[in-house]
């Protein structure tokens, strides 16, 4: 028991603990507080609280009213809360379709979204057979990686896409990977036109990636659902094309279930 306690203490970061104490001091009853009030609520000394408030405000976890000088919770927490809420709702809604495609194809099914300019995996159904996709829930990859990354990038503006490509240059994961920017941009345009992507061995050798976008009530692409189909299971181009259209249709149903209305959308 003592060993476990020592391990937990060794991982404790005092300054982080204190920053969280500051955030935790805000409640429905205390939505706005002055420096003095935060000091009283946390029991920390004034100099420490002042430094923490400065850094939390700089990172937008708090915001300060310039007239009253009081602090309140910032938009960054609202954004993160929205990510958590949408992730729960999205995973719950997509779950049925992920199970359906896993049963239908025996392949690995992946659900991903964008977080801090990276691709993050929200959910996964492991396929049958020898092929294993090393993309676990919570893992992050460059936003230009694989079928999910391409779908998520395809619906962003060109300036954002080029910024991502500067930050994460195209990489040859396999001999089939796209490494020329012009070719990659053309691929994104094609995805926008047809509403899904089919890539053959570009991220993982021996695997066909099929993915389509999921939209929210604002018509914004917030996620991508993909099938990692072993080439050995792709009996013909017609079969792959049919599966891609099924996936696109399912993503449209998921989108509708989380609030997207197709009426009036071009």
Average pLDDT over every residue of 254-266: 69
Residue whose entry in the numeric block shows the structure tokens 């989108």: 255
115 strand-pairing partners: 118
Round to the nearest angstrom and report the end-to-end CA distance of the chain: 62
Q: Round to whole Å and give the CA distance between 102 and 123.
A: 13
pLDDT in tens, 173-202: 999 999 999 999 999 999 999 999 999 999
Domain with residues 83-257, CATH architecture: 2-Layer Sandwich (3.30)
Q: Round to whole Å and give the CA distance between 59 and 41.
A: 22
- Give phi and psi for 224, each to the nearest 5: -140, 140
Helix (H, G, I), strand (E, B) or coil at 42: helix
Which pair of tokens denotes residue 134? 């090393």
150 or 106, higher pLDDT: 150
What's CA 182's distance to the chain center, in Å?
25
* pLDDT reported for residue 266: 41
Q: Indicate the pLDDT class of residue 250, thresholds 50, 70 and 90.
A: very high
* pLDDT reported for residue 260: 73
**Would you call 106 exposed, middle or buried from its count of C-beta atoms within 10 A (0-12, 13-18, 19+)?**
middle
Can you say whether residue 80 is alpha, beta or left, with left for phi > 0 and alpha for psi between -120 and 50 degrees?
A: alpha
Candidate from 1-15, 109-123, 250-264 with smallest mean pLDDT: 1-15
Residues 161, 188 contacting (CB under 8 angstroms)? yes
Radius of gyration, alpha carbons of the chain:
23
* pLDDT reported for residue 88: 65
* pLDDT reported for residue 107: 92
Q: Is it the case that residue 133 has pLDDT exceeding 80? A: no
Residues 31, 72 contacting (CB under 8 angstroms)? yes
Contacts of 236 (CB under 8 A, 6+ apart): none
Q: Round to whole Å and give the CA distance between 200 and 204.
A: 8
Residues 257, 263, 266, CA angle at the centre, nearest 5°? 115
Pair type for strands 62-64 and 71-73 = antiparallel
In SS3 terms, 177-194 reads as CCCCHHHHHHHHHHHHHH
pLDDT in tens, 205-236: 989 999 999 998 888 999 999 999 998 888 78
- List % helix, strand, coil for the chain (3-state, nearest 5): 50, 20, 35
* pLDDT reported for residue 262: 63
Domain definitions of the chain by residue range? 2-73, 83-257
Q: Round to whole Å and give the CA distance between 197 and 149.
A: 10
Domain with residues 2-73, CATH architecture: Orthogonal Bundle (1.10)
Going by C-alpha positions, the residue among 155, 158, 161 that lies closest to residue 220 is 155
Which pair of tokens denotes residue 203? 């991220």
Residues 211, 135, 8, CA angle at the centre, nearest 5°? 140
Q: What percent of the chain has pLDDT over 70?
A: 89
């Amino acid at each position: 028991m003592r060993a476990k306690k020592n391990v937990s203490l060794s991982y404790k970061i005092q300054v982080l603990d204190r920053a969280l104490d500051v955030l935790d001091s805000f409640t429905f009853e205390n939505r706005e507080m002055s420096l003095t009030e935060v000091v009283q609520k946390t029991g920390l000394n004034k100099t420490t609280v002042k430094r923490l408030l400065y850094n939390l405000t700089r990172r937008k976890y708090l915001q300060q009213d310039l007239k009253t000088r009081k602090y309140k919770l910032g938009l960054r927490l609202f954004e993160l809360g929205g990510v958590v809420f949408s992730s729960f709702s999205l995973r719950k809604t997509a779950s049925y379709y992920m199970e359906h495609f896993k049963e239908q194809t025996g392949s690995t099914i992946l659900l991903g979204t964008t977080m801090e300019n990276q691709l993050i995996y929200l959910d996964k159904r492991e396929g049958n057979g020898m092929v294993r996709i090393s993309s676990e829930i919570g893992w992050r990859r460059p936003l230009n990686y694989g079928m999910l990354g391409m779908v998520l990038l395809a619906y962003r503006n060109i300036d954002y896409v080029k910024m991502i490509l500067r930050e994460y240059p195209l990489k040859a994961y396999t001999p089939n990977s796209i490494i020329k920017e012009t070719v990659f941009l053309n691929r994104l345009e094609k995805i926008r036109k047809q509403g899904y992507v089919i890539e053959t061995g570009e991220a993982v050798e021996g695997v066909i990636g099929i993915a389509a976008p999921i939209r929210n009530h604002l018509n914004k692409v917030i996620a991508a659902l993909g099938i990692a189909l072993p080439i050995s299971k792709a009996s013909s181009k017609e079969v792959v094309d049919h599966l891609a259209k099924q996936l696109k249709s399912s993503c449209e149903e998921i989108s509708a279930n989380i609030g997207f209305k197709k009426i009036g959308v071009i």
